[in-house]
Chains A and B, each alone.
Chain A
């Protein structure tokens, strides 16, 4: 297999043994990008010169006998809503088409310290609002399994780059499923950590109380290692938790004997592709064969998750996105003769339809006279949804469900029907509302398209989640199947 098709831990061993150099890995990645990027279109920008220089620097350090960490010299792709100093950061929006941040997001700092090699910035639904990356204001990213189909979203570019072996791993952000759903559509591992474990400083906010950065990886071991590097308390993020980051690889035992897995009945309902449900049922059997105890459970407020999400997320977004007014940076309408007209034209032209739809929804939900009925009520129901999980986790270690109701859909299939689009996140949204970790791992293929299995864990229960996901991966071959590009 080509270097770009390997995992980070495999490459790390080869780097340490001096069987391969970071420069070779990086060049292999760019060679692949040159070959397939026309078809995939995962990147908003590439940082080739910087990456090659960085790879050489890491190689020098290895040659000097320096002990390197698990991500040193390994290529990474970052979703273009995380700030990178002196590197264009656009959110795939006309509004930020020319925005070059003067600072690094904390995760970028952490990756830099870890010796990571940044390959480029990945396409997304504008401001991370969408489920298909069709809302990018620049271009569409294609699913390498079937270029007629969407990559999922909003972290479509990050997921595509991993699935197409245009990188070794990537970072995405997940507000309502934006990592897990595309991971499912691509047959890669996608992980949304516990809210507060990864600093949001430098992640351009969509919905602050839901946003969380997480990795896309080619296997669970990589996922656990990447998380170990990017997790940890950050004084720059008041919502980041103070906790000790363990070595998550020690949870990768391959054993799940006695592990209690809850199967929420509300996640097995009409509307889900029967073949997808079939694969998930097979996965449950697999876990039972491995010695886990799987039992049905209930998360009774699940049906309210979608409406609650579409009040809270747009409300926060309406305020978070208010700063884009053309005064200080980014797009500005130059034709206006007065301030208010400049604001209006800048925002009318700078934002796309979905972003404007959500700003309007959120503005309405927060308006005087509607706040109690919408936003406040949504906050209360959010608490009920969280309590559902608290109760379930008294009995279970992990909760299992499909990641998405269907495999990747075709371009345009849902683009004109926002409600249909929103429903594609129906199984992933509750995890964000509850602030708990969720992981999507490959569990098979339907009509040649990958399907993801979602495992949900207790807050800060990443270790157990990785344990279960790793054991499943060790006993299946789904993650090894690659698309034909």
Chain B
């Protein structure tokens, strides 16, 4: 990519709030279900029905706003966004226009070594639309299409960032951080695969040093963190190429084609809708009392940044470790649970970021699953066994493999397999004597100053004890013997 250009990105994140009922009626928000079974006259927009705002939705929106360091509006209202589409039963979406529930927030990301603050313009509430099921590949090529309104009226919040992101990687980091914060706050499941977390991106490029923004395009249809980064990388390259070739970027909406790895034009600015926003006369404005806001604030859990700071300050974890672990709430909760059973946070962190993540990535399991084979207490016990000198780090890996397969406690595995480290000086001395006697050449070499030779001798002792001898003890006894 040309370094003469600066990329400017802003993200619009939509996330489903995990309420039991929809935003303006009592229908269930449960994912899936046979088509048009989670519906009622209200979310179907039948003639004569009226919306009634779900208090839980407003509370979750306030909570998300606070978690994103926003100011919560004292006066807010719902507006109608008017456009025609068959997945929208009223042909308007109830959303928020000029008085959103929350504004002026920020979140922090770490890019390499650098901490960056990304502004959050606003958080607003709206209802989700339904789903079209085409009989062909697209509506145009289908003889007919079906509509499933189960998702219609599921509560969403839209979180709009400032154009503060300067690379596709920053955009991905922002979205990952956003997901972590929303999960910690417990307002959303944030499952990208179920569509409960969605992201559109505005991107433009400009020559380095130029103040004005370039013409932006809006990207849609990125269904994973990876896709977001890829799509933005592609689009930045495309825009730069257009400019380099003397052309002009057209303001338009483009769709990411995952299989082809390209973005394609969907509609131009001229075709953009005039949504004719106006206050929804069926819903009364909301006056958000400061007492309510404070109540919600008090209910906020420890958020990723606070937890990260705690890991660094209280346990001396390096920032990198703290960032990785707090990046996922379930991993962080797991880590906290483990800390109840061991004081060696750094060792636990190494195991979590190493073997545990390897296991999770390989199996696709979640630490929250009821039958997850390695409960935090067990992993902490393993750390403790090493610390107490009962097993060596090498044996510990074997023990972990057993834990992983059978879900057993490490102590029990060590016991059953007789893997306990031999720290008894007498027993080890006997074997050391034997090894020294059987390997005169190596002893000579060591005495001649070849430090490496001791490694071989340690290996021999370990082999004779099936790895159970305490390596430090072996080392000391060998040196004593050979002096």
Residues of A bordering B, CB below 8 Å = 81-83, 89, 91, 96, 99, 101-103, 105, 200-205, 207-209, 235-239, 315-316, 318-319, 322-325, 327-329, 338-339, 343, 363, 366-368, 371, 375
Q: In whole angstroms, what is the CA distance A481 to B297 when docked?
A: 67
Does B281 reach chain A (CB closer than 8 Å)? Answer: yes
Q: Which of A99, A235, A324, A368 contacts B276 (CB 8 A)?
A: A368
Q: A200-B50, A318-B276, A329-B46 are in contact. List 18 more A-B contacts (CB 8 A).
A: A81-B48, A102-B46, A201-B49, A204-B48, A205-B282, A209-B281, A237-B52, A238-B282, A239-B281, A239-B282, A316-B281, A322-B90, A323-B90, A323-B91, A329-B47, A366-B82, A367-B274, A371-B278
A201 surroundings in chain B (CB, below 8 A): 48-50
| 7 closest cross-chain pairs (CB), A and B | A322-B91, A208-B281, A366-B276, A209-B281, A204-B47, A202-B48, A83-B48
A102 surroundings in chain B (CB, below 8 A): 41, 46
Q: Which of A82, A322, A363 contacts B48 (CB 8 A)?
A: A82
Q: Which residue of B lies closest to A344 (CB)?
A: B84
A367 touches B50 (CB 8 A): no
B82 touches A205 (CB 8 A): no
- Chain A binding surface, main DSSP class: loop
Q: Which residue of B lies closest to A342 (CB)?
A: B86
B44 touches A375 (CB 8 A): no
Question: Can you list 17 contacts pairing A with B, beta carbon distance less than 8 Å?
Answer: A81-B48, A89-B47, A89-B48, A102-B41, A103-B41, A235-B52, A236-B50, A238-B51, A238-B53, A238-B283, A318-B82, A318-B276, A319-B276, A322-B90, A325-B91, A327-B89, A368-B276
B51 surroundings in chain A (CB, below 8 A): 238
A328 touches B44 (CB 8 A): yes
Does B140 reach chain A (CB closer than 8 Å)? Answer: yes
CB distance from A483 to the nearest CB of B (A): 32
B82 surroundings in chain A (CB, below 8 A): 318-319, 322, 366
Within 8 A of A (CB), among B279-297: 281-284
Within 8 A of A (CB), among B249-291: 274, 276-278, 281-284
B139 surroundings in chain A (CB, below 8 A): 339
A235 surroundings in chain B (CB, below 8 A): 52
**Digit string of B25-52 for contact with A (CB within 8 Å is 1, else 0)?**
0000000000000000100111111111
Q: Which of A209, A237, A343 contacts B50 (CB 8 A)?
A: A237
B48 touches A203 (CB 8 A): yes
Residues of B bordering A, CB below 8 Å = 41, 44-53, 80, 82, 84, 86, 89-92, 139-140, 147, 274, 276-278, 281-284
Interface centre among B47, B52, B140 (most CB of A within 10 A): B47
B47 touches A375 (CB 8 A): no
Given A315-B278, A322-B91, A366-B276, decide whether A238 and B44 contact each other with a Cβ distance below 8 A. Answer: no
Q: In whole angstroms, what is the CA distance A26 to B278 when docked?
A: 46
Q: In whole angstroms, what is the CA distance A86 to B359 when docked?
A: 59
CB distance from B21 to the nearest CB of A (A): 13
Q: In whole angstroms, what is the CA distance A82 to B47 when docked?
A: 9
B284 surroundings in chain A (CB, below 8 A): 238-239
Interface centre among A89, A91, A105, A366 (most CB of B within 10 A): A366
A101 touches B47 (CB 8 A): yes
CB distance from A96 to the nearest CB of B (A): 7
B52 touches A238 (CB 8 A): yes
Q: In whole angstroms, what is the CA distance A325 to B84 when docked?
A: 9
Q: In whole angstroms, what is the CA distance A96 to B47 when docked?
A: 9
Interface centre among B90, B139, B140 (most CB of A within 10 A): B90
CB distance from A336 to the nearest CB of B (A): 12
A323 surroundings in chain B (CB, below 8 A): 45, 47, 89-91
CB distance from A71 to the nearest CB of B (A): 22
- Chain B binding surface, main DSSP class: loop
Interface centre among B41, B45, B51, B276 (most CB of A within 10 A): B276
CB distance from B134 to the nearest CB of A (A): 11
B52 touches A319 (CB 8 A): no
B47 touches A99 (CB 8 A): yes
CB distance from B431 to the nearest CB of A (A): 82
A315 surroundings in chain B (CB, below 8 A): 278
Q: Which of A82, A91, A319 contacts B92 (CB 8 A)?
A: A319
A327 surroundings in chain B (CB, below 8 A): 86, 89, 147
Q: Which residue of A lies closest to B78 (CB)?
A: A238
Interface centre among B41, B282, B283 (most CB of A within 10 A): B282
B50 surroundings in chain A (CB, below 8 A): 200-201, 236-239
A101 surroundings in chain B (CB, below 8 A): 41, 46-48
Interface centre among A202, A208, A323, A325 (most CB of B within 10 A): A323
B276 touches A343 (CB 8 A): no
Q: Which residue of A lies closest to B273 (CB)?
A: A368
A208 touches B86 (CB 8 A): no
Q: Which residue of B lies closest to A104 (CB)?
A: B48
A209 surroundings in chain B (CB, below 8 A): 281
Q: In whole angstroms, what is the CA distance A235 to B147 when docked?
A: 29
Q: Which residue of B lies closest to A95 (CB)?
A: B47
Interface centre among B45, B86, B278 (most CB of A within 10 A): B278
CB distance from B464 to the nearest CB of A (A): 80
CB distance from B55 to the nearest CB of A (A): 12
B48 touches A366 (CB 8 A): no
CB distance from B126 to the nearest CB of A (A): 15
Q: In whole angstroms, what is the CA distance A205 to B82 when docked?
A: 16
Q: In whole angstroms, what is the CA distance A235 to B44 when docked?
A: 18
B281 surroundings in chain A (CB, below 8 A): 207-209, 239, 316
CB distance from A432 to the nearest CB of B (A): 12
A367 touches B276 (CB 8 A): yes
Q: In whole angstroms, what is the CA distance A316 to B284 when docked?
A: 15
CB distance from B415 to the nearest CB of A (A): 63
B274 touches A83 (CB 8 A): no
Q: In whole angstroms, what is the CA distance A88 to B86 when docked?
A: 24
Q: In whole angstroms, what is the CA distance A375 to B90 when docked?
A: 21
Q: In whole angstroms, what is the CA distance A239 to B46 when docked?
A: 18
Q: Which residue of A lies closest to B25 (CB)?
A: A236
B84 touches A322 (CB 8 A): yes
Interface centre among B41, B45, B281 (most CB of A within 10 A): B281
CB distance from B42 to the nearest CB of A (A): 8
Q: In whole angstroms, what is the CA distance A383 to B82 when docked?
A: 25
B47 surroundings in chain A (CB, below 8 A): 83, 89, 91, 96, 99, 101, 204-205, 323-324, 329
A328 surroundings in chain B (CB, below 8 A): 44-46, 89
CB distance from B267 to the nearest CB of A (A): 14
CB distance from B47 to the nearest CB of A (A): 4
A375 surroundings in chain B (CB, below 8 A): 278
CB distance from A435 to the nearest CB of B (A): 12
Given A316-B281, A322-B92, decide whether A338 and B48 contact each other with a Cβ distance below 8 A. Answer: no
B46 surroundings in chain A (CB, below 8 A): 83, 101-103, 328-329
A91 surroundings in chain B (CB, below 8 A): 47
Q: In whole angstroms, what is the CA distance A105 to B44 when docked?
A: 16
Q: In whole angstroms, what is the CA distance A135 to B92 when docked?
A: 26
CB distance from B362 to the nearest CB of A (A): 46
Q: In whole angstroms, what is the CA distance A57 to B90 when docked?
A: 39
Q: Which residue of B lies closest to A368 (CB)?
A: B274
CB distance from B80 to the nearest CB of A (A): 5
A318 surroundings in chain B (CB, below 8 A): 82, 276
CB distance from B236 to the nearest CB of A (A): 30
CB distance from A406 to the nearest CB of B (A): 31
Q: Which residue of B lies closest to A82 (CB)?
A: B48
Q: Which residue of B lies closest to A362 (CB)?
A: B276
Q: Which residue of B lies closest to A99 (CB)?
A: B47
B49 surroundings in chain A (CB, below 8 A): 103, 201-202
CB distance from A382 to the nearest CB of B (A): 12
